[in-house]
Structure 1
């Protein structure tokens, strides 16, 4: 019996996302050319809490880079989960390089999160909601990874973005160290998001 459900995965999540502007020379390896705006690439980092009634429940930290394509697309360069089922499914179905980590989230007036492997810490963050009314927005994009060429995975989502402020810290010697010392250009909360991941 498989550890994970067949695709597409239907997931429910609360997410906190920050957007960064990064020079291409600082980016990790990508399977395709990054999408550049005014000489800078866009990197998205996200803490995601997957909850019932979605098919899987787990925590996640990821970093993704917008890439050039005919439709909105990104490549996930670093990602950690605390679920062996999610790790196995992500790797085997979509070539997403999921690793295992300890992910601790706390919610309340402020959201805080930490991520660490058995060897070292990866990142920490604190988010605070800012004034603004949530608006439910359907969206779709592709996740593009390397597997004998480019593997494109469709993702559909219904989200309610809310403005937020965020304070991140990155291990300068860790896999997200290229973001250390930078500040996000925008941050969002995405409560009660619905995702359809895969074909």
Structure 2
């Protein structure tokens, strides 16, 4: 049986994020009951590689794609595609929040500064692969560090047991500018990521995240 922690999950690590503005007709399908938030016929899509490490409740790698949506008039984030290399993360994500996690193999090569202290990445190359082939590859070259640690609070909305499930997320991280190049198998689920360059890319170094509500129940077996 696969066991996973109760919510909320406290996570920490490194994230490499790119954002695109995509024509509405090309947006991934989002949770029933929500609609993509669009301006001038375009919606916001983000894709990220994440390394959960340090004080995370689980340690694993992740590749995700998400769309900015509306739940009524409220802006939300909907995760449309996501892969991890932890069975506990996959099962917990599905059963707690309706996040459609799948399994994949990851190769994430980070070049880091020497010595103790926070990660200071000079470059990252990442690949995720399933039995069907390579999902995506990306290279990030990081630039200037933005002073301070930046807080971000938002809500993720998914479909769980036929209803909308909205979960709070609170995070804080150091930001660095980045240049990113994505490629993906054309016939794969992320084939559109390589068709246009990202509008913006960032490295979120040494982030902390609190994901989900306080739960009264304990760890649940799959």
Residue 108 of structure 2 aligns with which residue?
105
| Residue pair 1:47, 1:61 contacting (<8 A) in 2 also | yes
User: Aligned in 2, Cα 1:110/1:38: closer, same or farther, shift over 3 Å?
Assistant: same
1:28 lines up with 2:28 in the alignment: yes
Give me the whole-angstrom Cα distance separating, in 2, the residues matched to 1:178 and 1:18. Answer: 13
Give me the whole-angstrom Cα distance separating, in 1, the residues matched to 2:90 and 2:153. Answer: 23
Secondary structure of 1:96's counterpart equals coil
TM-score by length of 1: 0.95
- Which one of 179, 189, 200 corresponds to residue 165 of structure 1? 179
Give me the whole-angstrom Cα distance separating, in 2, the residues matched to 1:38 and 1:188. Answer: 24
Give me the whole-angstrom Cα distance separating, in 1, the residues matched to 2:180 and 2:2. Answer: 37
User: Aligned in 2, Cα 1:114/1:2: closer, same or farther, shift over 3 Å?
Assistant: closer
Moved beyond 2 Å, runs of 4+ = 69-72, 131-135
Structure 1 gap ranges (5+): none
Shift of 1:2: 5.9
Aligned-residue Cα RMSD (Å) equals: 1.3
| Residue pair 1:15, 1:190 contacting (<8 A) in 2 also | yes
Structure number with higher strand proportion: 2
Residue 89 of structure 1 aligns with which residue?
92
Structure 2 gap ranges (5+): 112-121, 214-222
Secondary structure of 1:107's counterpart equals strand
Give me the whole-angstrom Cα distance separating, in 1, the residues matched to 2:38 and 2:91. Answer: 32
Secondary structure of 1:76's counterpart equals strand
TM-score by length of 2: 0.86
Tell which structure's C-alpha radius of gyration is larger. 2
Say how many residue pairs are matched.
199
1:145-156 superposed matches below 5 A? 145-147=158-160, 148-156=162-170
| Residue pair 1:27, 1:178 contacting (<8 A) in 2 also | no
